[in-house]
Amino acid sequence: MTKILANDGLAQPGIDALTSKGFKVVTEKVNQENLINAINSENYEVLLVRSATKVRKDLIDSCPQLKIIGRGGVGMDNIDVDYAKKKGIHVINTAEASSNSVAELVFAHLFSMVRFLFDSNRKMPLSGDSEFKSLKKSYAKGKELKGKTLGIIGFGRIGEEVVKKAIGLGMKVNVYDKYIKEKKVILKFFNDEEKVFKIKTEQLECVLKESDFITLHIPKTSNTAFINAEEIGLMKTGAGIINTSRGGLVDETALMFALDKQKIAYAGLDVFDNEPTPSIHICMHNAISLTPHIGAATLEAQSKIGTELADQITNIYNK
């Protein structure tokens, strides 16, 4: 029986789909330092990971019976993909499964930011009973999202979902993508009606200058940040920045400086430098809405990830 180690877990529908096809799925976590030994001694042919487990050259070289490395999710920065492929290993991921969940989290941060929920949820438990009136006053200048301009950097799968939701809320969208000039976006409604929008992308400078909020949906391909002090300098005073893509795309020092100077009013972060030990200054900043990398952490996304991985693995074994 072919054995699969899902080292960062796998949702039950994925386990069920694989088990029904005759695979044995083990979800007991093996520490990184014991992983090579475990794969060899248990004769695993498939290694499934999310973002925690690293699959580097040493592991690939030391585990010659590995046939498939699977990433439940999108980013493959924890896997030496090209090296694995060169060694004849199939490397698969689930590109689509989490797009809607990440896009919804963007709006969770946006709503949290414009109505100060992130701050209110910190302060109400401490002083809601004694300082009610002053807290109420400090959150009096909320804003509506309707009519505001959302700048979307990256018009791929998640960027497109964000565009749809922004349009649904009555926002203007201003999109930048290095490689895409125009895209047809189809909004589908509950009653099967559809509305097609042709969205042309803009220059980065224009998106930065004209947007009330900027949200990033691009991969991290270098060690330099995409949003630095210079890009922040171009943005509107009082704008917001959201990063649910990858830590390091926004320079955290430049962001905190801009927040302290009130050039940027607030930020929403799901991803951080040095995960899983982000900067305490970022975590304690009173103008940042924070989540611990939970973009794809919904029952729906995890279920889609599980079944997509199961389909791809069965296809490879049936070839």
Query: 161, 246, 285, 308: which is the annotated catalytic residue?
Result: 246
For residues 241 and 125, what is the distance between their CA atoms, to the nearest angstrom? 27
How many CB atoms within 10 Å of residue 210? 16
Query: Tokens for 314?
Result: 């069965």
Work out which of 70, 151, 295, 306 binds ligand NAD, going by CB under 6 A.
Answer: 295
* Omega of the bond leading into 276 within 30 degrees of 0 (cis): yes
> Could you tell me how many residues make up the chain?
319
Cβ contacts of residue 243 below 8 Å, gap of 6+?
A: 215, 216, 227, 249, 250, 267, 268, 269, 270, 271
At residue 184, φ and ψ (nearest 5 deg) are -90, 125
Q: How far is the CB of 101 from ligand NAD (least distance, A)?
A: 8
For residues 250 and 232, what is the distance between their CA atoms, to the nearest angstrom? 10
Q: How far is the CB of 292 from ligand NAD (least distance, A)?
A: 10
Q: Is 275 a catalytic residue?
A: yes
Q: Which is nearer to ligand NAD, 99 or 112 (CB)?
A: 99
Interface region with ligand NAD, contact rule CB under 6 A, candidates 35-43, 71-79, 163-171, 311-319: 71-79
Q: How many residues bind ligand NAD (CB under 6 A)?
A: 29
177 binds ligand NAD (CB under 6 A): yes
Interface region with ligand NAD, contact rule CB under 6 A, candidates 4-12, 25-33, 62-70, 157-165: 157-165
Q: Is 300 a catalytic residue?
A: no
Dihedral Cα 118, 120, 124, 129, nearest 10 deg: -170
154 binds ligand NAD (CB under 6 A): yes
299 binds ligand NAD (CB under 6 A): no
9 binds ligand NAD (CB under 6 A): no
Alpha-carbon 104 to chain mean position: 11
Residues 222-261 that bind ligand NAD (CB under 6 A): 244-246
- Taking alpha carbons only, the member of 87, 81, 22 closest to residue 49 is 81
Cβ contacts of residue 182 below 8 Å, gap of 6+?
A: 198, 199, 200, 201
94 binds ligand NAD (CB under 6 A): no
157 binds ligand NAD (CB under 6 A): yes
Query: 96, 104, 275, 300: which is the annotated catalytic residue?
Result: 275
Q: How far is the CB of 30 from ligand NAD (least distance, A)?
A: 23
Q: Is 104 a catalytic residue?
A: no
Q: How far is the CB of 72 from ligand NAD (least distance, A)?
A: 10
Site residues for ligand NAD per CB under 6 A: 73-75, 95, 98-99, 102, 153-159, 177-180, 217-219, 244-246, 270-271, 293, 295-296
**Residue numbers annotated as active site:** 246, 275, 293
